[in-house]
Amino acid sequence: MTRPLLLAALTIALALPAAVDAGPRPAKSKAAAAAAARVKRGQTFAEQRCAACHGVTRNSSSPNPESPTFEDIANRPGLTSTTLRQFLRDSHNFPEAMDFAVERERIRELADYIVTLRRADYKPTI
């Protein structure tokens, strides 16, 4: 009688993790989903509007040697999404050749995308 009980307990113990894993996965929070969508819109904007001068993806180079890559920008000491948003509000109003304004509604998206390029092992190109 103890052997059948032992087998039953063992079967239940082995089945519990599978039963727990079989449950529904929690959906992404609305905030996380909104942040991911903002980053994607920022990347799309960068690829469409910034890539003519800047390297906008990881490990890319800038077509214009005077323009830093977004990865270089993201890895500057002290840079945050907040400081980057302020910079983007004022960034392209000098010199005349760079007279380009980032639309206000795109600034946060672009900043949120750029900070995703930050890496702990980043080494600037020389």
Separation CA 70–CA 126 (nearest Å): 16
- Give 63-77 pLDDT, tens digit per residue: 998 889 999 999 999
pLDDT of 57 strictly over 80:
yes
Q: Angle at which helices 81-90 and 104-115 pack, to 10 degrees?
A: 140
What value does the CA radius of gyration of the chain take, rounded to a whole number of Å?
Answer: 24
pTM: 0.72
- Give 83-125 pLDDT, tens digit per residue: 999 888 876 655 555 667 788 889 999 999 999 999 999 888 7
